Amino acid sequence: MGLLVRGSEFQHHRYEDMVRALFAVQSECPYITRIYSIGRSVEGRHLYVLEFSDNPGIHEALEPEFKYVGNMHGNEVLGRELLIKFSQFLCEEYRAGNQRITRLIHDTRIHVLPSMNPDGYEVAARQGPEFNGYLVGRGNSREIDLNRNFPDLNALMYYYEKTNGRNHHLPLPDNWEQQVEPETLAVIKWMQNYNFVLSANLHGGAVVANYPFDKSRDARIRGRTTYAATPDDKIFRKLARTYSYAHSWMHKGWNCGDFFDEGITNGASWYSLSKGMQDFNYLYTNCFEITLELSCDKFPPASALPREWLANREALVSYLEQVHHGIKGMVYDENNNPIAKAEISVSGINHDVTCGLDGDYFRLLLPGTYTVTASAPGYVPSTSTVTVGPAEAIQLHFYLKTAPKQNLKGKHHHGKKNLSSPKAPLKLGPR
């Protein structure tokens, strides 16, 4: 698929080079791309996103939103270069009439953020590949690790699991905006503005596809790690395997002196991590995110980039295609008006998703038969049974009737009590 781009075109991109490369793609493919900034870094660099869609800038109902995020740790640079290359590849293949890529761009809204931490990258790049240490440039310009900087919703989730509280879209702590870095703030606002369905976060330093939860449910016992499964553990394993097996060598398991069976790992069973981005996606939004560790060498030399691109190219496309599995549909009222923020629950999976502002929802599911319920305040819940196959998402629409007045004071749909944070056991402020 696609032409092997000449090795000479592979290079490391400093900030200005990266911006030029993104705008070059935009000018090559103006009708299917848009560039926008989600905010600025501490030092004022834009966090640019390149969007691919047949209608850039517009959410089309029933068309899922997908994102790739690279270079969250400034000195882990392969993801940044792969996403620049991936953007060029999508544009080139679309222009060449590649049917697979054309279909993806027509049916998906794809958002690519090559660098979440441009300031840290500049620090690492000044050191260069030969001398790059483990930590130089990892954090932002205040030396804060952005993957330990999101509000800690895991502690709240683990409390709610015991008290039958909310299982999704957990509330953020008060004054959370003051507790996070500008780059983190920009990404959280981005998540609030787009109803992302699937995502991957590209790192380096190992070769493995890592899936949630990253944070262990138990206090750490020295030397022992514990698997922390989400309610969607089976889907997350499938998503991680999709990338691993499409990658040239990740699935073989032996990489960088470590062994990971099938090239995948649960985050907490590897090592527990608090306030990470992938868990935050799952607990605060509708988005399922995994973390891709893509190279033993955090800052590989430019000469290694062509090989790394070939190793990851099919995996980047295959993983993106996973956004089109499961079920999707609209939730309407009796007058065929879409209901925003309606909740979709799947029997047996204790994690609900919500409709976007247009009344459309997306629920990633493995093949099987499911009982699905749509509910919204003021309406009678509606339940359907659906069988999901291995191919495209099944469309399942819901029509909700207005609830009789006297029922409105009755009990709401399951798990909706306890909307505020628990008072005693938790402190969600900075530690």
What's phi and psi for 249, nearest 5 deg? Answer: -140, -5
Among candidate residues 179, 182, 66, the one with its CA nearest the CA of residue 117: 182
Whether omega for the bond prior to residue 213 falls within 30 degrees of 0, making it cis, is yes
The residues, any chain, with a CB within 8 Å of residue 166's CB and separated by 6 or more, are: 160, 415, 416, 418, 419
CB 210 within 8 Å of CB 290:
yes
Residue 405 is predicted with a pLDDT of 83
Among candidate residues 138, 171, 277, 261, the one with its CA nearest the CA of residue 215: 277
Q: Which two tokens stand for residue 262?
A: 């099938």
Residue 225 is predicted with a pLDDT of 78
Burial (CB count <10 Å: 0-12, 13-18, 19+), residue 427:
exposed
Tokens 């069988």 -> residue: 387
- Tallying the residues shown for the chain, one arrives at 431
Give me the sign of the Cα torsion angle 130, 133, 138, 139: negative
Residue 133 is predicted with a pLDDT of 61
Please tell me the distance from the alpha carbon of residue 7 to that of residue 10, in angstroms, as a whole number. 6
Report the 10 Å Cβ neighbour count for 383: 12
Please tell me the distance from the alpha carbon of residue 282 to that of residue 290, in angstroms, as a whole number. 10
Please tell me the distance from the alpha carbon of residue 423 to that of residue 293, in angstroms, as a whole number. 37
Report, in angstroms and rounded to the nearest whole number, the Rg of the chain calculated over CA atoms. Answer: 21
Q: Which two tokens stand for residue 95?
A: 């222009």
Give me the sign of the Cα torsion angle 119, 175, 428, 155: negative
CB 374 within 8 Å of CB 334:
no
- DSSP code, position 75: T
pLDDT in tens, 231-242: 999 999 999 999
Residue type, 64: P
Domains contained in the chain, CATH given: 15-324 (3.40.630.10), 326-402 (2.60.40.1120)
The residues, any chain, with a CB within 8 Å of residue 325's CB and separated by 6 or more, are: 364, 365, 366, 388, 390, 392, 393
CB 243 within 8 Å of CB 288:
no
Residue type, 362: F
Q: Which two tokens stand for residue 307?
A: 């090989």
Give me the sign of the Cα torsion angle 139, 209, 79, 184: negative
Q: Which helix (H) or strand (E) holds 386?
A: strand 382-388
Query: Tens-digit pLDDT profile for the chain (431 aa)?
Result: 344 343 337 899 999 999 999 999 999 999 999 999 999 999 999 999 999 999 999 999 999 999 999 999 999 999 999 999 999 999 999 999 999 999 999 999 999 999 999 999 999 998 866 665 667 899 999 999 999 999 999 999 999 999 999 999 999 999 999 999 999 999 999 999 999 999 999 999 999 999 999 999 987 666 677 999 999 999 999 999 999 999 999 999 999 999 999 999 999 999 999 999 999 999 999 999 999 999 999 999 999 999 999 999 999 999 999 999 999 999 999 999 999 999 999 999 999 999 999 999 999 999 999 999 999 999 999 999 999 999 999 999 999 999 998 644 544 444 444 444 443 333 333 23
Model confidence, pTM? 0.91
Report the 10 Å Cβ neighbour count for 104: 21
Residue 132 is predicted with a pLDDT of 58
Residue 220 is predicted with a pLDDT of 66
Q: Which two tokens stand for residue 288?
A: 């399922």
3-class SS string, 194-257: CCEEEEEEEECCEEEEEECCCCCCCCCECCECCCCCCCCHHHHHHHHHHHHHHCCCHHHCEECC
CB 291 within 8 Å of CB 210:
yes
Q: Which two tokens stand for residue 239?
A: 């998503």
Please tell me the distance from the alpha carbon of residue 366 to that of residue 368, in angstroms, as a whole number. 6
Give me the sign of the Cα torsion angle 272, 274, 278, 282: positive
Phi-psi group of 312: left, alpha or beta (phi > 0 → left; psi -120 to 50 → alpha; rest → beta): alpha
Residue 129 is predicted with a pLDDT of 66
Active site (catalytic) residues: 293
For the beta sheet containing 349-354, the strands, ordered from the edge strand earlier in sequence to the opposite edge, are 349-354, 343-346, 368-375, 382-388
User: Nearest 10 degrees: CA dihedral of 261, 262, 267, 272?
Assistant: 20
